[in-house]
Amino acid sequence: MATQARRERRGRPTQAEAAEKRQGIVDAATALFLSSGYREVSVRRIADAADVSTRTVFNLFEDKASLFIACLDSISPGVDSPLLT
């Protein structure tokens, strides 16, 4: 019986994979912000917790503040709207 070697997909991630990675970053950041506070959490720490590179974080979010807003939105959709006006 021949075994087939599993080929890993190369290239750009699918939309589902990208969404999953983004949500993983948001989840990790949310946990860190809640436990340590915004000022104490670095993007490097978030990336480590999400098991991604800082480059990946910055490819998906403009900056730490944008990531924080995504965290707020994931907890309570629309809560960031009054903050941005």
pLDDT (tens digit, 9 = 90+) per residue, 9-32?
677 878 898 899 999 999 999 999
Tell me the residue range of the domain where 67 lies. Answer: 42-77
**Within a domain: residue 4?**
no
- Domains of the chain: total: 1
Q: pTM surpassing 0.85? A: no
65 is a domain residue: yes
- Residue 85 covered by a domain: no
SS3 35: helix
Q: How far is CA 24 from CA 6, 31, 40, 63, 70, in A?
A: 25, 11, 20, 16, 12
Residue 16 counted as domain residue: no
**CA geometry: angle at 11 spanning 9 and 17, to 5°?**
70
Where the chain has pLDDT below 70, the residues are 1-9, 78-85
The rounded distance, in Å, linking the Cα atoms of 49 and 75 is: 18
Residue 25 included in any domain: no
**Residue 54 covered by a domain:** yes
6 falls within a domain: no
